[in-house]
Amino acid sequence: MDYQAVLEEVAAFARPYVGHGQVADYIPALEKVPTDRFGIAVADINGEVYGVGDWEVPFSVQSISKTFSLALVMANDNEDIWKRVGREPSGTPFNSLVQLEWENGVPRNPFINAGALVVTDRLQTLTGDASTTMLHFLREESGNPDLAFDQAVADSEAEHGDRNAALAHFMASFGNLENPVPSVIEHYFWQCSIEMSCRDLAAAGGFLARHGLRADGSRLLEAREAKRINAVMLTCGTYDAAGEFAYRVGLPAKSGVGGGIVAVVPGRCTLCVWSPGLDSRGNSVAGAAALDHFTSLTGWSVF
C-alpha cells in the first residue's frame, strides 16, 4: 500500500468539506480553533507513520481519550468494568442524563460522558492518578515525550462542567463511583485536555490494530479484549451517529469534539484525521468524509 499517495488523494477529496460545521463553542478554549485546518495520518502495524496536511499540529483530544482510559482499565482489571457500564449504543446525546434515571445510574456505554466518568473513576482507583497514568502511556505509545495537558482547555472545561458534575453526582447516588466526585471529574477534564497531533494519535492507537500489542512488542491487552474495544468503538464511538458512521466508513472509530477521529483497521493500520468543524452530533464533517473515502479507495473495512 502506498499510504502517502492514498492520503494525498483522500485529502483532496475531503478539501471541499473543510470549514463546514461548527467548532465546540460550549468549551470556550476550543471556540478559537480555526475551522480551516485539516490533517490525516496513518500508522501501520510496524509503527511507520505517514501524513498530509496539518497532521503534525497538536489539538485537544477530548473524547478520543475515552478509548485509552478504557484500554488501561481493561489491561489492569480484566473485564470487571462491564459490571458498572454497558456496551449498547445510547441513542441520546453524549452528555444526556435521561437514561441514567431509567437504568439506575449505569451508563449505556463507556464512550458517552457518564460511561467515561465511570471508567476514569475505576482507573483512578487502580492507579491513584488516572490522568497522569494516561499521559505517560500516550507518551510511550506515540513516541512523543513532549505530550502534555492543556491547562487552558482543562480550566475551560472545569468552568463549564456543570453537566458532567451532575452526571457524576447522579451515578454516585446509585453507588456507581468509588472516588469523590470532584476527583473523578478533575481527572476526566485533564484527560480530555491532552494535546496530540494526528501523527501522535495514529501511533498511540496502534495496539488496537496489533490485536493488543504495544509499540515495544509487549502485550497490553489479550487479542479478545482488543477485539471487544474495537467492537464498542464501532457501535458507540461516534456518539449517537455510530450507525451512520458504520454505514459510511465501516471501521471502529472514536471521535472527539476537538475535531479528531481515530479509526482502526485491525491487522493493518490505525488512522487519525482532524478538522475542527463538527456536525450536529459532534463529529468532524471533513474527518468523516475523509475516512469514508479512505475505505472506498482501499477496500479496507470490517465488512
Note the pLDDT tens digit of each residue in 251-275.
999 999 999 999 999 999 999 999 9
Question: Catalytic amino acids?
Answer: 63, 66, 188, 239, 257
pTM here is: 0.96
Q: What is the mean pLDDT of the chain?
A: 95
Domain membership of residue 231 (yes or no) is yes
Strand, helix or coil at 261? strand
What percentage of the chain carries pLDDT values higher than 70?
100
Note the pLDDT tens digit of each residue in 151-208.
999 999 899 889 999 999 999 999 999 999 999 999 999 999 999 999 999 999 999 9
Pull the grid cell for residue 293.
Answer: 473515502
Domain membership of residue 303 (yes or no) is no
Of residues 99 and 118, which shows the higher confidence score?
A: 118
Among 133, 92, 85, smallest CA distance to 110 is for: 85
Confidence check: pLDDT of 150 > 90: yes
Q: What is the mean pLDDT of residues 275-283?
A: 95
- pLDDT tier at 97, thresholds 50, 70, 90: confident
Q: What is the mean pLDDT of residues 16-21?
A: 97
Domain membership of residue 106 (yes or no) is yes
- pLDDT tier at 220, thresholds 50, 70, 90: very high
Among 111, 258, 132, 262, smallest CA distance to 201 is for: 262
Residue-range definition of the domain harbouring residue 265: 3-298
Confidence check: pLDDT of 91 > 80: no
Domain membership of residue 55 (yes or no) is yes
Indicate the helix (H) or strand (E) that contains 254: strand 253-255
Confidence check: pLDDT of 128 > 80: yes
Domain membership of residue 32 (yes or no) is yes
Q: Which residue in the block uniquely carries the three cell numbers 496536511?
A: 53
In the chain, how many domains are there? 1
Lateral strand order in the sheet of 148-149: 59-60, 194-196, 148-149
Q: Domain with 174 in it: what CATH number? A: 3.40.710.10
Distance CA 6, CA 98 (A): 42
Give the pLDDT confidence score for residue 32 in this predicted structure: 87
Give the pLDDT confidence score for residue 90 in this predicted structure: 82
Asked if 84 and 134 touch (Cβ cutoff 8 Å), the reply is no
Give the pLDDT confidence score for residue 107 in this predicted structure: 96
Give the pLDDT confidence score for residue 104 in this predicted structure: 92
Distance CA 196, CA 85 (A): 27
Confidence check: pLDDT of 50 > 90: yes
Give the pLDDT confidence score for residue 16 in this predicted structure: 98
Give bridge partners of residue 219 from the DSSP assignment. Answer: 213
